[in-house]
């Protein structure tokens, strides 16, 4: 179409000139021996045709340059934007009155070079602050929380490839977290609070973006085992904070069970599901963390029976007292209950706490996810709980959130 348009733009003025020529006068000129004008022949428009060809060649050259700069055929891009507007009330007024309107913008790039491997890159930005991205004792950190200060950053990047056969895979990357390399999905509950990700984001599954490498084996019968290491820079030194996680699991279409052991060294502590005393983690910075997970879903959606995800964590340090912490999680999802493709979510549990804690911590959330169309969802949410505030007294928290998600 571009070539045709360019050609027409040259031919049009030539046609217009031809329409003004008097054919009879042309004949008289040709019959007159006194005429000094030359007759029209095949060479008359040679210069104009040469110029047209030159312009067409230039257009084709620019088209080839544009195609060369496009994405590879094996690269897939998708993304989403999330708008969060909400507020939190607490007994000690830590966040009372801080209503926020925030966003997160994410781009996911997946590139395959062999058809079986994958280079994953996540580019992300956002402007969350205060309660929506703070690891406070109230556990108000949102799953969508991002505080990149409106700057696009490479948030995750790693490469995965099969080894030998498709049952064995190896993953390596400069920005990754342990749970992306686990072979078994620990939970199918869709959370709003980050504390409720992974069947309870406490000591066992708590992770941090770091350089990492992992191996996973998935058998055809549903059995799976994986082991991976992440290390803060400089990596793999005696002083570097490290997390070594090994998971064994078994998955069928309707259910899954798994167990994980995560050894953390040199002060690696990372948890979004914790109490004030559970966060303290006394000891020399080393801990042994065990996480048990399971989930089940019904045969048919749209019934009174929800999908169920559960989790239990226990963690041990070498401290003389308060060395052990525990946490539990229950998550329920109902789908297609009121409208097609909608979802109701209810989660609750005990954040990571020490044995002698004076206040029993508790956290919950309940939401309704309404699908406006294939790309837009609205999720009004209420969350809250009980924890020990900075003064050591029991304090309640209640949060209100409206989340709008645009997928593309």
Question: Own/partner pairs for 304-310, CB < 8 Å, 24+ apart?
Answer: 304/334, 306/332, 306/333, 306/334, 306/344, 306/346, 307/188, 307/189, 307/332, 307/333, 307/334, 307/335, 308/332, 309/187, 309/188, 309/189, 309/199, 309/333, 310/199
DSSP strand pairing (362-371 vs 343-354): antiparallel
Note whether 281 and 356 are within 8 A (CB).
no
Note whether 260 and 290 are within 8 A (CB).
yes
Compute CA 403 distance to the chain's CA centroid, rounded to the nearest angstrom: 16
**Poorest-pLDDT segment among 36-40, 136-140, 147-151, 332-336:** 36-40
Residue 208 is encoded by which pair of tokens? Answer: 């941090």
Residue among 391, 342, 339, 350 at smallest CA distance from 367: 342
**CB neighbours (10 Å) of residue 387?**
26
The continuous run of DSSP H or E covering 384 comes out as strand 376-388
Q: Is the pLDDT of residue 14 over 60?
A: no
pLDDT of res. 62: 54
Say which CATH class 74-407 falls into: mainly beta
Model-level pTM? 0.81
How far CA 321 is from CA of 142, 201, 291, in Å, comes to 32, 24, 22
Q: Helix, strand or coil for residue 239?
A: coil
**Poorest-pLDDT segment among 156-160, 252-256, 286-290, 318-322:** 318-322
pLDDT digits (tens, 9 = 90+) for 19-69: 343 434 434 433 444 444 444 454 555 565 556 566 656 655 555 554 444
pLDDT digits (tens, 9 = 90+) for 343-355: 999 999 999 999 8
């Amino acid at each position: 179409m571009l070539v045709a348009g360019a050609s027409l733009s040259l031919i049009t003025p030539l046609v217009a000139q031809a329409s003004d020529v008097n054919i009879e006068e042309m004949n008289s000129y040709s019959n007159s021996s006194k005429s000094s004008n030359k007759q029209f022949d095949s060479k008359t428009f040679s210069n104009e045709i040469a110029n047209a060809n030159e312009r067409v060649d230039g257009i084709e050259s620019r088209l080839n340059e544009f195609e060369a700069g496009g994405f590879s055929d094996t690269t897939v891009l998708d993304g989403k934007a999330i708008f969060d507007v909400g507020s939190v009330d607490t007994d000690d007024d830590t966040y009372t009155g801080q209503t926020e309107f925030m966003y997160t913008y994410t781009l996911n790039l997946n590139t395959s070079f062999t058809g079986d491997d994958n280079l994953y890159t996540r580019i992300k930005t956002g402007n969350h602050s205060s309660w929506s991205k703070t690891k406070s004792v109230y556990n108000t950190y949102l799953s969508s929380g991002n505080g990149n200060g409106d700057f696009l950053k490479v948030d995750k990047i790693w490469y995965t490839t099969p080894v030998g056969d498709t049952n064995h895979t190896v993953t390596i990357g400069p920005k990754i977290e342990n749970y992306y390399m686990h072979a078994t999905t620990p939970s199918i509950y869709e959370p709003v609070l980050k504390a409720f990700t992974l069947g309870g984001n406490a000591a066992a599954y708590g992770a941090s973006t770091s350089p990492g490498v992992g191996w996973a084996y998935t058998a055809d019968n549903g059995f799976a085992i994986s082991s991976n290491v992440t290390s803060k820079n400089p990596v793999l030194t005696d002083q570097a904070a490290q997390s070594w996680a090994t998971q064994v699991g078994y998955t069928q279409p309707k259910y899954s069970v798994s167990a994980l052991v995560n050894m953390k060294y040199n002060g690696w502590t990372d948890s979004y599901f914790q109490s004030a005393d559970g966060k303290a983690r006394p000891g020399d910075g080393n801990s042994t963390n065990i996480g048990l997970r399971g989930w089940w879903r019904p045969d048919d959606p749209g019934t009174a029976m929800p999908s169920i995800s559960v989790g239990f964590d226990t963690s041990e340090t070498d401290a003389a007292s308060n060395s052990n912490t525990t946490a539990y999680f229950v998550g329920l999802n109902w789908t297609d209950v009121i409208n097609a493709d909608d979802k109701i979510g209810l989660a609750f549990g005990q954040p990571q706490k020490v044995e002698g804690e004076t206040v029993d911590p508790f956290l919950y959330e309940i939401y309704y996810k309404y699908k406006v169309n294939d790309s837009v969802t609205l999720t009004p949410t209420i969350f809250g709980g009980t924890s020990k505030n900075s003064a050591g007294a029991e304090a309640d928290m209640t949060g209100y959130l409206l989340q709008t998600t645009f997928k593309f």
